[in-house]
A and B are shown apart, each in its own frame.
Chain A
Amino acid sequence: MSDDAASSPAPWEVMNENIDMISGGIPWGRRMAFRFTRIEKGHVWGLQPWKERLVGDPDTGVIHGGVLTAFLDNLCGTAASSALPKPRFVATLDLRLDYMRPADKGRDIIGEAECYHVTRNICFTRAWAYHESRDKVIATAAGAFAINKPRSVDSMRTM
């Protein structure tokens, strides 16, 4: 732990304190109704409720795989940010999703993501989506995230 960390709280602590604000700050996440439920250093949990408007197959009522992609993408990105010693935004470089089994109609989906390795520029993450436990997984994800350099909001607008 650096001197910085001793004098000010680590990013993951600030993130966990403001967890509802983080969930609410993502318009598409809000529309999908997912939220983060717990943030630790490099480890994030979340909840994706079943919603009629997210269904991908009207015959079965199962929510679309693309909902899980967005959910796990966000969880992985948050796990990446929470693993860093200083507050930084991260951007998804790539994300791989494996669909193991369909989610049950009408049931909440639990998501869990961990950042298992950090280099100077990249965070490596993996994630799971399930109803009860990781033993019976609905989908898994693996993603790499680029760590953005600190910069002003104005410079980001002209990208």
Chain B
Amino acid sequence: MVNDIDTTKQTRADEVRAFIARTPLAQEMGLRCEVMGDEMTMIMPYQEKLIGNFMIKAIHGGAIAAFLELTSQAQVFLVTEHLERPPRPINLTIDYLRQGHAKDLYARAEITKMGRRMCSVRAEAWQDERAKPVTTLMAHFMVSGD
């Protein structure tokens, strides 16, 4: 039994990696994910093209938002077994807390409430210190499968 569960988790982690690998925007942004059981960290390695303001070399807020949205989608997909595909977003709110500097970004998402039709997710992106998030996101996704 334990083995069965482990196999399922393994398969879903592979599906999440496949989602990142076959989604053009995720590839364009250079994303990769590290899955550890039901936990996942998404990484966006720094690239010059991600810059939003060349005068201050800050990463584009929209790129960080897309990064957090993809992270949230992947996390919901990872832990929601009945989903056949990553969930569609209903809406999201992004809080820009600090400037995203010209270096790698990391993100994690957490499901605050899983409902039958929708779920509520929070995610945050950071660089040097997890306790000092660059950007946070709050979003709702459809999980009803249609």
Residues in A lying within 8 Å of B, measured CB to CB: 25-31, 52-59, 63-67, 69-71, 73-74, 91-99, 102, 153, 156-157, 159
Q: Could you list some 8 contacts between A and B, CB below 8 A? A: A26-B53, A28-B51, A54-B24, A66-B66, A70-B60, A70-B61, A73-B65, A95-B96
The answer to whether B60 touches A29, judged by C-beta atoms less than 8 angstroms apart, is yes
Give B73's nearest chain A residue, CB to CB.
A56
Contact with A along B4-27 (1 / 0, CB 8 A): 000000000000000000111101
Residues in A with CB closer than 8 Å to B53 are 26
Q: Which of B86-94, B103-111, B113-121 contacts A (4 or more CB under 8 A)?
A: B86-94
In the bound complex, what is the Cα–Cα distance between A156 and B58 (angstroms)?
10
The answer to whether A70 touches B55, judged by C-beta atoms less than 8 angstroms apart, is no
Closest Cβ of chain A to B19, distance in Å, is: 9
The 3 A-B pairs at the shortest CB distance, nearest first, are namely A70-B62, A66-B66, A28-B60
A159 and B65 contact, Cβ closer than 8 Å, known pairs A27-B48, A95-B94, A99-B88: no
8 Å CB interface, B68-126 against A: 69-70, 85, 88-96, 99
Give A30's nearest chain B residue, CB to CB.
B49
The answer to whether B28 touches A31, judged by C-beta atoms less than 8 angstroms apart, is yes
Q: Which of B23, B56, B70 contacts A55 (CB 8 A)?
A: B23
Residues in A with CB closer than 8 Å to B67 are 66
Give B65's nearest chain A residue, CB to CB.
A69
In the bound complex, what is the Cα–Cα distance between A102 and B66 (angstroms)?
16
Residues in B with CB closer than 8 Å to A57 are 23, 85
The answer to whether A66 touches B70, judged by C-beta atoms less than 8 angstroms apart, is yes
The answer to whether A73 touches B23, judged by C-beta atoms less than 8 angstroms apart, is no
Closest Cβ of chain A to B58, distance in Å, is: 9
| B50 interface contact, C-beta 8 A | yes
Residues in B with CB closer than 8 Å to A55 are 23-25
Give B95's nearest chain A residue, CB to CB.
A94
In the bound complex, what is the Cα–Cα distance between A55 and B99 (angstroms)?
27
A28 and B65 contact, Cβ closer than 8 Å, known pairs A63-B25, A97-B91, A97-B92: no
The answer to whether A69 touches B70, judged by C-beta atoms less than 8 angstroms apart, is no
The answer to whether B93 touches A96, judged by C-beta atoms less than 8 angstroms apart, is yes
